[in-house]
Amino acid sequence: MNARQEKYDVIIIGSGAAGLTAALELGQSRKVLVLAKGSLTGGSTAWAQGGIAAVLDAGDTFENHIRDTMIAGAGLNDRETVEFVIEGAPKAIDRLCELGVPFNRESGDLHLTREGGHSHRRIVHVNDATGWAVQEALLNAANANPNITLLPGRSCIDFITGRHAEPYSGSGHVWGVYALDEESGRVEAHVAKATVLAAGGAGRVYQFSTAPRGATGDGIAMGWRAGARVSNMEMMQFHPTCLYNLEVKNFLITEAVRGEGGHLINPRTGKRFMEYYDERLELAPRDIVARAIDAEIKRFGLDFVHLDISHKPPEFVREHFPTIYDKLIGLGIDMTTQPIPVVPAQHYTCGGVVIDLAGRTDLPGLWAAGEVTESGLHGANRLASNSLLECFVFGEAAAKDICQRWDELPDPPAIREWDESRVTDSDEEVVIKQNWTEIRRFMWNYVGIVRTTKRLERAANRIQLLKAEVEDYYGSFRVTTDLVELRNLLQAADLIVRSALKRHESRGLHYTLDYLETDEVPVDTVLVP
Protein backbone atom coordinates (compact mmCIF):
# COMPACT_ATOMS: atom_id res chain seq x y z
CA MET A 1 0.00 0.00 0.00
CA ASN A 2 1.51 3.37 -0.83
CA ALA A 3 2.09 6.07 1.75
CA ARG A 4 -0.72 8.18 0.25
CA GLN A 5 -3.49 5.82 1.34
CA GLU A 6 -2.05 4.92 4.73
CA LYS A 7 -3.32 6.82 7.74
CA TYR A 8 -0.62 8.31 9.94
CA ASP A 9 -0.94 10.13 13.24
CA VAL A 10 2.26 12.17 12.96
CA ILE A 11 4.48 13.19 10.05
CA ILE A 12 8.16 13.88 10.68
CA ILE A 13 10.21 15.77 8.12
CA GLY A 14 13.84 14.67 8.37
CA SER A 15 15.57 11.40 9.33
CA GLY A 16 18.51 12.73 11.35
CA ALA A 17 19.03 12.75 15.12
CA ALA A 18 16.12 15.10 15.88
CA GLY A 19 13.58 13.45 13.58
CA LEU A 20 14.39 9.87 14.58
CA THR A 21 14.50 10.70 18.31
CA ALA A 22 10.98 12.13 17.97
CA ALA A 23 9.88 9.13 15.89
CA LEU A 24 11.12 6.59 18.47
CA GLU A 25 9.32 8.39 21.30
CA LEU A 26 6.08 8.82 19.29
CA GLY A 27 6.29 5.31 17.84
CA GLN A 28 5.55 3.83 21.26
CA SER A 29 1.89 4.83 20.87
CA ARG A 30 1.32 6.50 17.47
CA LYS A 31 1.65 5.66 13.78
CA VAL A 32 4.52 7.77 12.45
CA LEU A 33 5.70 8.58 8.91
CA VAL A 34 9.27 9.86 8.53
CA LEU A 35 9.99 11.65 5.23
CA ALA A 36 13.58 12.08 4.04
CA LYS A 37 14.92 13.99 1.07
CA GLY A 38 17.23 11.65 -0.83
CA SER A 39 18.55 8.83 1.38
CA LEU A 40 17.72 8.21 5.04
CA THR A 41 21.35 8.93 5.98
CA GLY A 42 21.74 12.07 3.84
CA GLY A 43 21.46 14.61 6.66
CA SER A 44 24.07 16.26 8.87
CA THR A 45 23.84 13.77 11.76
CA ALA A 46 25.77 11.07 9.90
CA TRP A 47 28.55 13.59 9.20
CA ALA A 48 29.12 14.70 12.80
CA GLN A 49 32.69 13.74 13.65
CA GLY A 50 33.09 15.34 17.06
CA GLY A 51 30.69 13.98 19.63
CA ILE A 52 28.03 14.88 22.17
CA ALA A 53 28.62 17.23 25.09
CA ALA A 54 27.38 16.10 28.51
CA VAL A 55 28.41 16.61 32.14
CA LEU A 56 29.69 13.14 33.08
CA ASP A 57 33.12 13.89 34.60
CA ALA A 58 33.51 13.86 38.38
CA GLY A 59 34.93 17.41 38.51
CA ASP A 60 32.42 18.89 36.06
CA THR A 61 29.05 20.52 36.83
CA PHE A 62 25.91 21.57 34.94
CA GLU A 63 26.77 25.14 35.92
CA ASN A 64 30.17 24.85 34.15
CA HIS A 65 28.56 23.54 30.95
CA ILE A 66 25.87 26.25 31.11
CA ARG A 67 28.53 28.94 31.58
CA ASP A 68 30.65 27.63 28.68
CA THR A 69 27.56 27.58 26.44
CA MET A 70 26.59 31.14 27.40
CA ILE A 71 30.13 32.46 26.89
CA ALA A 72 30.37 30.86 23.43
CA GLY A 73 26.89 32.20 22.59
CA ALA A 74 28.00 35.75 23.48
CA GLY A 75 25.11 36.15 25.92
CA LEU A 76 22.42 35.82 23.27
CA ASN A 77 21.39 32.40 24.57
CA ASP A 78 18.17 31.90 26.51
CA ARG A 79 19.30 30.79 29.98
CA GLU A 80 16.18 28.66 30.59
CA THR A 81 16.72 26.75 27.31
CA VAL A 82 20.42 26.23 28.06
CA GLU A 83 19.59 24.76 31.50
CA PHE A 84 16.84 22.57 30.02
CA VAL A 85 19.13 21.05 27.36
CA ILE A 86 22.25 20.61 29.48
CA GLU A 87 20.36 19.03 32.38
CA GLY A 88 18.80 16.62 29.88
CA ALA A 89 22.18 15.57 28.45
CA PRO A 90 23.22 12.66 30.72
CA LYS A 91 19.79 11.03 30.20
CA ALA A 92 20.14 11.41 26.42
CA ILE A 93 23.56 9.69 26.55
CA ASP A 94 22.07 6.85 28.66
CA ARG A 95 19.34 6.32 26.05
CA LEU A 96 21.92 6.19 23.22
CA CYS A 97 23.95 3.63 25.19
CA GLU A 98 20.75 1.55 25.52
CA LEU A 99 20.29 1.80 21.73
CA GLY A 100 23.77 0.32 21.35
CA VAL A 101 25.88 3.34 20.35
CA PRO A 102 29.44 2.03 20.95
CA PHE A 103 30.92 5.11 22.66
CA ASN A 104 34.66 4.96 23.34
CA ARG A 105 35.42 3.77 26.87
CA GLU A 106 38.44 3.71 29.16
CA SER A 107 38.44 0.96 31.81
CA GLY A 108 34.65 0.73 31.59
CA ASP A 109 33.89 4.45 31.84
CA LEU A 110 32.97 6.64 28.88
CA HIS A 111 36.07 8.28 27.37
CA LEU A 112 35.65 12.05 27.37
CA THR A 113 37.50 14.36 25.02
CA ARG A 114 37.71 18.15 25.10
CA GLU A 115 36.94 20.71 22.39
CA GLY A 116 37.34 24.45 21.93
CA GLY A 117 35.27 26.57 24.35
CA HIS A 118 34.76 23.74 26.89
CA SER A 119 36.31 24.15 30.36
CA HIS A 120 36.27 20.38 31.00
CA ARG A 121 36.52 17.08 29.16
CA ARG A 122 32.85 16.31 28.46
CA ILE A 123 32.56 15.06 24.87
CA VAL A 124 31.47 11.44 24.51
CA HIS A 125 32.44 10.08 21.10
CA VAL A 126 32.83 7.06 18.84
CA ASN A 127 36.38 7.66 17.58
CA ASP A 128 35.98 10.59 15.15
CA ALA A 129 32.74 9.32 13.57
CA THR A 130 30.18 9.75 16.34
CA GLY A 131 27.38 10.93 14.07
CA TRP A 132 27.50 7.86 11.87
CA ALA A 133 27.26 5.52 14.89
CA VAL A 134 24.33 7.53 16.29
CA GLN A 135 22.54 7.64 12.92
CA GLU A 136 22.94 3.87 12.53
CA ALA A 137 21.62 3.09 16.02
CA LEU A 138 18.59 5.37 15.60
CA LEU A 139 17.76 3.95 12.14
CA ASN A 140 18.06 0.36 13.40
CA ALA A 141 15.66 1.13 16.25
CA ALA A 142 13.22 2.93 13.91
CA ASN A 143 13.30 0.06 11.41
CA ALA A 144 12.50 -2.38 14.21
CA ASN A 145 9.39 -0.43 15.28
CA PRO A 146 6.23 -1.49 13.35
CA ASN A 147 4.61 1.90 14.10
CA ILE A 148 7.32 3.80 12.21
CA THR A 149 7.41 4.03 8.39
CA LEU A 150 10.58 5.47 6.84
CA LEU A 151 10.04 6.98 3.40
CA PRO A 152 13.17 8.26 1.60
CA GLY A 153 13.25 10.09 -1.74
CA ARG A 154 10.73 12.74 -0.71
CA SER A 155 11.43 16.45 -1.25
CA CYS A 156 9.05 18.46 0.92
CA ILE A 157 7.71 21.51 -0.92
CA ASP A 158 5.34 23.33 1.44
CA PHE A 159 3.34 22.72 4.58
CA ILE A 160 -0.31 21.86 4.13
CA THR A 161 -2.19 24.52 6.10
CA GLY A 162 -5.79 25.64 6.49
CA ARG A 163 -5.37 27.42 3.15
CA HIS A 164 -5.31 24.02 1.42
CA ALA A 165 -8.35 22.69 3.27
CA GLU A 166 -11.96 22.22 2.15
CA PRO A 167 -13.36 24.58 3.35
CA TYR A 168 -10.57 27.18 3.29
CA SER A 169 -9.24 28.43 6.64
CA GLY A 170 -6.79 31.22 7.41
CA SER A 171 -5.94 29.70 10.80
CA GLY A 172 -2.37 28.81 9.86
CA HIS A 173 -2.92 25.30 11.27
CA VAL A 174 -0.45 22.78 9.80
CA TRP A 175 -1.89 19.44 8.64
CA GLY A 176 1.19 17.81 7.12
CA VAL A 177 3.14 18.50 3.96
CA TYR A 178 3.13 18.35 0.17
CA ALA A 179 6.15 16.29 -0.90
CA LEU A 180 7.63 15.42 -4.28
CA ASP A 181 8.24 11.71 -4.91
CA GLU A 182 11.71 12.10 -6.45
CA GLU A 183 11.37 8.90 -8.49
CA SER A 184 7.93 9.35 -10.05
CA GLY A 185 7.89 13.18 -10.14
CA ARG A 186 4.42 13.19 -8.54
CA VAL A 187 3.54 15.47 -5.65
CA GLU A 188 1.84 13.71 -2.72
CA ALA A 189 -0.19 15.20 0.11
CA HIS A 190 0.88 13.64 3.43
CA VAL A 191 -1.75 14.55 6.01
CA ALA A 192 -1.69 14.11 9.81
CA LYS A 193 -2.87 15.58 13.10
CA ALA A 194 0.67 16.63 14.08
CA THR A 195 3.82 17.45 12.12
CA VAL A 196 7.42 17.60 13.38
CA LEU A 197 9.91 19.66 11.36
CA ALA A 198 13.47 18.30 11.69
CA ALA A 199 14.84 19.22 8.27
CA GLY A 200 18.27 20.56 9.25
CA GLY A 201 20.08 23.79 8.41
CA ALA A 202 20.84 26.07 5.48
CA GLY A 203 24.58 25.59 5.03
CA ARG A 204 24.54 25.10 1.27
CA VAL A 205 23.60 28.76 0.85
CA TYR A 206 27.40 29.23 0.99
CA GLN A 207 30.08 28.31 -1.54
CA PHE A 208 32.26 26.55 1.04
CA SER A 209 30.26 24.48 3.50
CA THR A 210 30.72 21.29 5.49
CA ALA A 211 26.98 20.67 5.31
CA PRO A 212 25.60 17.81 3.22
CA ARG A 213 24.33 18.56 -0.29
CA GLY A 214 20.71 18.62 0.89
CA ALA A 215 21.13 21.32 3.58
CA THR A 216 19.34 23.96 1.53
CA GLY A 217 17.25 25.57 4.27
CA ASP A 218 14.06 23.78 3.16
CA GLY A 219 12.49 23.61 6.62
CA ILE A 220 13.29 27.21 7.53
CA ALA A 221 11.92 28.47 4.19
CA MET A 222 8.77 26.32 4.47
CA GLY A 223 8.15 27.49 8.03
CA TRP A 224 8.57 31.14 6.98
CA ARG A 225 6.21 30.77 4.01
CA ALA A 226 3.58 29.16 6.25
CA GLY A 227 3.76 32.04 8.75
CA ALA A 228 6.27 31.01 11.45
CA ARG A 229 8.69 33.54 12.90
CA VAL A 230 12.39 33.04 12.19
CA SER A 231 15.16 34.25 14.49
CA ASN A 232 18.93 34.98 14.48
CA MET A 233 19.55 33.87 10.90
CA GLU A 234 22.62 36.12 10.73
CA MET A 235 24.34 33.75 13.18
CA MET A 236 26.00 31.37 10.71
CA GLN A 237 28.83 29.36 12.18
CA PHE A 238 31.93 28.84 10.10
CA HIS A 239 34.05 25.84 11.02
CA PRO A 240 37.67 26.97 11.12
CA THR A 241 39.16 23.82 9.62
CA CYS A 242 37.71 22.26 6.48
CA LEU A 243 40.16 20.31 4.29
CA TYR A 244 41.35 22.43 1.37
CA ASN A 245 41.26 20.09 -1.61
CA LEU A 246 39.92 20.88 -5.05
CA GLU A 247 38.66 17.33 -5.63
CA VAL A 248 37.17 16.58 -2.22
CA LYS A 249 34.47 18.96 -1.08
CA ASN A 250 33.30 19.50 2.50
CA PHE A 251 35.65 17.19 4.39
CA LEU A 252 35.84 18.44 7.95
CA ILE A 253 38.93 18.23 10.11
CA THR A 254 37.38 17.91 13.57
CA GLU A 255 37.88 20.43 16.35
CA ALA A 256 39.39 17.61 18.40
CA VAL A 257 42.61 17.75 16.31
CA ARG A 258 43.21 21.15 17.92
CA GLY A 259 41.84 19.87 21.25
CA GLU A 260 44.51 17.15 21.26
CA GLY A 261 47.37 19.54 20.49
CA GLY A 262 47.24 20.48 16.77
CA HIS A 263 48.88 23.79 15.78
CA LEU A 264 47.70 26.31 13.17
CA ILE A 265 50.60 27.49 11.02
CA ASN A 266 50.95 30.11 8.31
CA PRO A 267 52.47 28.16 5.37
CA ARG A 268 54.24 31.31 4.12
CA THR A 269 56.03 32.17 7.38
CA GLY A 270 56.10 28.66 8.88
CA LYS A 271 54.97 30.14 12.23
CA ARG A 272 51.99 29.57 14.54
CA PHE A 273 49.73 32.63 14.35
CA MET A 274 46.94 32.19 16.92
CA GLU A 275 49.00 34.04 19.58
CA TYR A 276 48.37 37.27 17.65
CA TYR A 277 44.60 36.79 17.92
CA ASP A 278 43.71 35.16 21.25
CA GLU A 279 45.50 34.00 24.39
CA ARG A 280 43.64 30.67 24.24
CA LEU A 281 45.52 30.02 20.98
CA GLU A 282 44.10 27.03 19.02
CA LEU A 283 41.49 26.35 21.73
CA ALA A 284 39.72 29.70 21.32
CA PRO A 285 36.03 29.48 20.29
CA ARG A 286 35.34 28.68 16.65
CA ASP A 287 34.34 32.19 15.54
CA ILE A 288 37.64 33.64 16.78
CA VAL A 289 39.70 30.87 15.15
CA ALA A 290 37.75 31.17 11.86
CA ARG A 291 38.25 34.96 11.75
CA ALA A 292 41.96 34.54 12.55
CA ILE A 293 42.42 32.08 9.67
CA ASP A 294 40.34 34.34 7.38
CA ALA A 295 42.58 37.30 8.35
CA GLU A 296 45.82 35.36 7.69
CA ILE A 297 44.52 34.13 4.33
CA LYS A 298 43.52 37.67 3.26
CA ARG A 299 46.63 39.38 4.62
CA PHE A 300 49.12 36.99 3.02
CA GLY A 301 47.06 36.14 -0.10
CA LEU A 302 46.95 32.45 0.84
CA ASP A 303 44.56 29.75 -0.36
CA PHE A 304 44.74 27.91 2.97
CA VAL A 305 46.64 27.61 6.27
CA HIS A 306 48.23 24.51 7.79
CA LEU A 307 46.88 22.46 10.71
CA ASP A 308 49.74 20.38 12.09
CA ILE A 309 49.64 17.57 14.65
CA SER A 310 52.72 15.75 13.31
CA HIS A 311 54.69 16.59 16.50
CA LYS A 312 52.56 13.99 18.35
CA PRO A 313 53.49 10.27 18.23
CA PRO A 314 52.17 8.60 15.04
CA GLU A 315 50.24 5.91 16.95
CA PHE A 316 48.51 8.62 19.07
CA VAL A 317 47.33 10.40 15.90
CA ARG A 318 46.16 7.20 14.16
CA GLU A 319 44.35 5.97 17.27
CA HIS A 320 42.53 9.27 17.92
CA PHE A 321 41.64 10.14 14.31
CA PRO A 322 41.33 6.91 12.30
CA THR A 323 38.69 8.24 9.86
CA ILE A 324 40.57 11.44 9.10
CA TYR A 325 43.92 9.62 8.90
CA ASP A 326 42.58 7.09 6.35
CA LYS A 327 40.86 9.77 4.26
CA LEU A 328 44.00 11.93 4.11
CA ILE A 329 46.29 8.97 3.32
CA GLY A 330 44.03 8.31 0.32
CA LEU A 331 44.71 11.90 -0.81
CA GLY A 332 48.46 11.57 -0.35
CA ILE A 333 48.69 13.42 2.99
CA ASP A 334 50.15 11.62 6.02
CA MET A 335 48.98 13.65 9.03
CA THR A 336 51.51 11.89 11.28
CA THR A 337 54.36 13.54 9.35
CA GLN A 338 52.75 16.36 7.31
CA PRO A 339 50.54 19.39 7.95
CA ILE A 340 46.92 19.42 6.70
CA PRO A 341 45.84 22.30 4.39
CA VAL A 342 42.63 23.82 5.85
CA VAL A 343 40.24 26.69 5.11
CA PRO A 344 37.16 27.93 7.05
CA ALA A 345 33.76 26.76 5.75
CA GLN A 346 30.13 27.35 6.71
CA HIS A 347 29.31 24.72 9.29
CA TYR A 348 26.18 25.28 11.37
CA THR A 349 23.00 27.36 11.20
CA CYS A 350 22.45 28.83 14.69
CA GLY A 351 19.24 30.63 13.70
CA GLY A 352 15.99 29.15 12.45
CA VAL A 353 12.30 28.65 13.16
CA VAL A 354 11.40 29.94 16.64
CA ILE A 355 10.37 27.21 19.13
CA ASP A 356 9.60 26.99 22.84
CA LEU A 357 10.80 24.38 25.35
CA ALA A 358 8.17 21.89 24.11
CA GLY A 359 9.39 22.24 20.52
CA ARG A 360 6.22 24.15 19.55
CA THR A 361 6.44 26.62 16.67
CA ASP A 362 4.11 29.62 16.11
CA LEU A 363 1.88 27.43 13.92
CA PRO A 364 -0.67 25.13 15.58
CA GLY A 365 -0.05 21.52 14.63
CA LEU A 366 3.67 22.11 13.92
CA TRP A 367 6.56 21.21 16.24
CA ALA A 368 10.26 21.46 15.34
CA ALA A 369 13.65 20.24 16.62
CA GLY A 370 17.33 20.38 15.73
CA GLU A 371 19.28 22.65 13.42
CA VAL A 372 16.14 23.93 11.64
CA THR A 373 15.17 25.74 14.87
CA GLU A 374 16.23 28.66 17.01
CA SER A 375 15.52 27.33 20.50
CA GLY A 376 17.68 29.77 22.45
CA LEU A 377 20.39 27.16 23.13
CA HIS A 378 23.18 28.44 20.87
CA GLY A 379 22.71 32.22 20.95
CA ALA A 380 25.28 34.00 18.80
CA ASN A 381 27.57 30.97 18.42
CA ARG A 382 27.19 27.22 18.98
CA LEU A 383 29.49 25.56 21.48
CA ALA A 384 31.11 22.47 19.95
CA SER A 385 29.13 19.23 20.34
CA ASN A 386 26.00 20.91 21.73
CA SER A 387 24.18 20.38 18.42
CA LEU A 388 23.52 16.62 18.50
CA LEU A 389 22.53 17.12 22.13
CA GLU A 390 19.89 19.69 21.11
CA CYS A 391 18.46 17.17 18.62
CA PHE A 392 17.96 14.49 21.28
CA VAL A 393 16.51 16.79 23.95
CA PHE A 394 14.12 18.68 21.68
CA GLY A 395 13.19 15.65 19.56
CA GLU A 396 12.01 13.99 22.75
CA ALA A 397 10.38 17.19 24.13
CA ALA A 398 8.32 17.70 20.95
CA ALA A 399 7.21 14.05 20.92
CA LYS A 400 6.19 14.13 24.58
CA ASP A 401 4.23 17.36 24.09
CA ILE A 402 2.36 15.84 21.11
CA CYS A 403 1.49 12.74 23.15
CA GLN A 404 0.31 14.79 26.14
CA ARG A 405 -1.93 16.99 23.97
CA TRP A 406 -3.11 14.24 21.66
CA ASP A 407 -6.75 14.27 22.74
CA GLU A 408 -7.03 18.05 22.24
CA LEU A 409 -5.58 17.96 18.70
CA PRO A 410 -8.32 18.32 16.06
CA ASP A 411 -8.63 15.79 13.22
CA PRO A 412 -7.43 17.00 9.79
CA PRO A 413 -10.04 18.44 7.40
CA ALA A 414 -10.35 17.30 3.77
CA ILE A 415 -7.24 18.53 1.95
CA ARG A 416 -6.98 19.53 -1.71
CA GLU A 417 -4.64 17.61 -3.99
CA TRP A 418 -1.58 19.40 -5.39
CA ASP A 419 -2.54 21.42 -8.47
CA GLU A 420 -0.16 21.23 -11.41
CA SER A 421 -2.70 21.86 -14.16
CA ARG A 422 -1.00 25.06 -15.33
CA VAL A 423 2.65 23.96 -15.47
CA THR A 424 4.91 22.25 -18.00
CA ASP A 425 8.23 20.41 -17.80
CA SER A 426 11.22 22.74 -17.64
CA ASP A 427 13.28 23.17 -20.78
CA GLU A 428 15.97 25.31 -19.11
CA GLU A 429 17.64 23.45 -16.24
CA VAL A 430 20.67 25.71 -16.82
CA VAL A 431 18.75 28.56 -15.13
CA ILE A 432 18.66 26.58 -11.87
CA LYS A 433 22.36 25.77 -12.00
CA GLN A 434 23.32 29.36 -12.82
CA ASN A 435 21.22 30.84 -9.99
CA TRP A 436 22.37 28.23 -7.47
CA THR A 437 26.04 29.02 -8.19
CA GLU A 438 25.42 32.77 -8.11
CA ILE A 439 23.67 32.69 -4.71
CA ARG A 440 26.39 30.60 -3.08
CA ARG A 441 29.16 32.81 -4.43
CA PHE A 442 27.75 36.20 -3.42
CA MET A 443 26.73 34.84 -0.01
CA TRP A 444 30.34 33.68 0.55
CA ASN A 445 31.84 36.97 -0.60
CA TYR A 446 29.32 39.43 0.86
CA VAL A 447 27.72 37.64 3.83
CA GLY A 448 30.60 35.48 5.04
CA ILE A 449 32.88 35.54 8.10
CA VAL A 450 33.48 39.32 8.01
CA ARG A 451 30.67 41.63 6.84
CA THR A 452 30.03 45.28 5.96
CA THR A 453 26.73 47.09 5.42
CA LYS A 454 27.69 47.84 1.82
CA ARG A 455 28.37 44.17 1.06
CA LEU A 456 25.11 43.13 2.74
CA GLU A 457 23.17 45.66 0.67
CA ARG A 458 24.79 44.33 -2.50
CA ALA A 459 23.67 40.83 -1.54
CA ALA A 460 20.13 42.11 -0.81
CA ASN A 461 19.95 43.70 -4.29
CA ARG A 462 21.04 40.45 -5.96
CA ILE A 463 18.42 38.51 -3.98
CA GLN A 464 15.61 40.83 -5.13
CA LEU A 465 16.59 40.35 -8.78
CA LEU A 466 16.77 36.58 -8.44
CA LYS A 467 13.49 36.35 -6.51
CA ALA A 468 11.41 37.54 -9.45
CA GLU A 469 13.24 35.14 -11.77
CA VAL A 470 12.83 32.12 -9.49
CA GLU A 471 9.15 32.82 -8.67
CA ASP A 472 8.38 33.13 -12.38
CA TYR A 473 10.21 29.86 -13.05
CA TYR A 474 8.51 28.11 -10.10
CA GLY A 475 5.07 29.22 -11.30
CA SER A 476 5.62 27.98 -14.86
CA PHE A 477 7.33 24.61 -14.52
CA ARG A 478 6.72 21.26 -12.83
CA VAL A 479 8.60 21.00 -9.54
CA THR A 480 11.86 19.09 -9.31
CA THR A 481 14.10 18.67 -6.26
CA ASP A 482 16.56 21.15 -7.81
CA LEU A 483 13.85 23.76 -8.25
CA VAL A 484 12.47 23.25 -4.73
CA GLU A 485 15.99 23.61 -3.33
CA LEU A 486 16.76 26.73 -5.36
CA ARG A 487 13.58 28.41 -4.14
CA ASN A 488 14.45 27.54 -0.54
CA LEU A 489 18.11 28.54 -0.85
CA LEU A 490 17.07 31.95 -2.07
CA GLN A 491 14.53 32.33 0.75
CA ALA A 492 17.15 31.31 3.33
CA ALA A 493 19.69 33.75 1.83
CA ASP A 494 17.09 36.51 2.02
CA LEU A 495 16.41 35.79 5.72
CA ILE A 496 20.16 35.73 6.53
CA VAL A 497 20.80 39.07 4.81
CA ARG A 498 17.72 40.76 6.32
CA SER A 499 18.74 39.58 9.79
CA ALA A 500 22.35 40.71 9.30
CA LEU A 501 21.25 44.19 8.18
CA LYS A 502 19.06 44.51 11.29
CA ARG A 503 21.91 43.80 13.76
CA HIS A 504 23.90 47.01 14.34
CA GLU A 505 26.64 45.45 16.46
CA SER A 506 29.27 42.71 16.28
CA ARG A 507 28.36 39.74 18.45
CA GLY A 508 29.50 36.13 18.23
CA LEU A 509 29.28 34.94 14.64
CA HIS A 510 27.98 38.26 13.29
CA TYR A 511 31.09 40.35 12.77
CA THR A 512 30.69 43.61 10.86
CA LEU A 513 33.36 46.22 10.20
CA ASP A 514 30.69 48.96 10.39
CA TYR A 515 29.64 48.12 13.97
CA LEU A 516 32.62 46.64 15.80
CA GLU A 517 31.22 47.27 19.31
CA THR A 518 28.92 44.85 21.13
CA ASP A 519 25.71 46.31 22.57
CA GLU A 520 25.22 46.06 26.33
CA VAL A 521 21.90 44.24 26.09
CA PRO A 522 21.73 41.15 23.84
CA VAL A 523 18.59 41.10 21.65
CA ASP A 524 17.42 38.36 19.27
CA THR A 525 16.84 39.34 15.65
CA VAL A 526 13.28 38.13 15.09
CA LEU A 527 11.72 38.34 11.63
CA VAL A 528 7.93 38.19 11.39
CA PRO A 529 6.40 36.96 8.08
| 8-state DSSP, 55 | -
In whole angstroms, what separates CA 236 from the centre of its chain? 10
What is the rounded distance in angstroms from the CA atom of residue 25 to the CA atom of residue 233?
A: 29
Task: Pick the catalytic residue from 229, 286, 451, 462.
Answer: 286
Find out whether the peptide bond into 267 is cis, omega within 30 degrees of 0. Answer: no
Q: What is the dihedral of CA 237, 242, 245, 247, to 10 degrees?
A: -70
Burial per residue of 500-523, b for 16 or more beta-carbon CB atoms within 10 angstroms, e otherwise? bbebebbbbbbbbeebeeeeeebe
What is the rounded distance in angstroms from the CA atom of residue 307 to the CA atom of residue 32?
A: 45
What is the rounded distance in angstroms from the CA atom of residue 461 to the CA atom of residue 443?
A: 12
What is the rounded distance in angstroms from the CA atom of residue 48 to the CA atom of residue 129?
A: 7
What is the rounded distance in angstroms from the CA atom of residue 44 to the CA atom of residue 8?
A: 26
Q: Does 286 participate in catalysis according to the annotation?
A: yes
For the CA atoms of the chain, what is the radius of gyration?
A: 22
Cβ atoms 303, 244 nearer than 8 A: yes
What is the rounded distance in angstroms from the CA atom of residue 178 to the CA atom of residue 161?
A: 10
Give me the amino acid identity at 44: S
Residue 386: helix, strand or coil by DSSP? coil
In whole angstroms, what separates CA 28 from the centre of its chain? 27
Question: How many other β-carbons are positioned within 10 Å of the β-carbon of residue 311?
Answer: 10
In whole angstroms, what separates CA 526 from the centre of its chain? 19
Q: Hey, CA dihedral for 399, 403, 404, 409, is it positive or negative?
A: positive
Give me the amino acid identity at 199: A
Q: Where are the alpha helices (DSSP H) in 252-321?
A: 256-259, 286-300, 314-320
Dihedrals phi, psi of 372, to nearest 5 degrees: -70, -15
Residues identified as active-site: 286
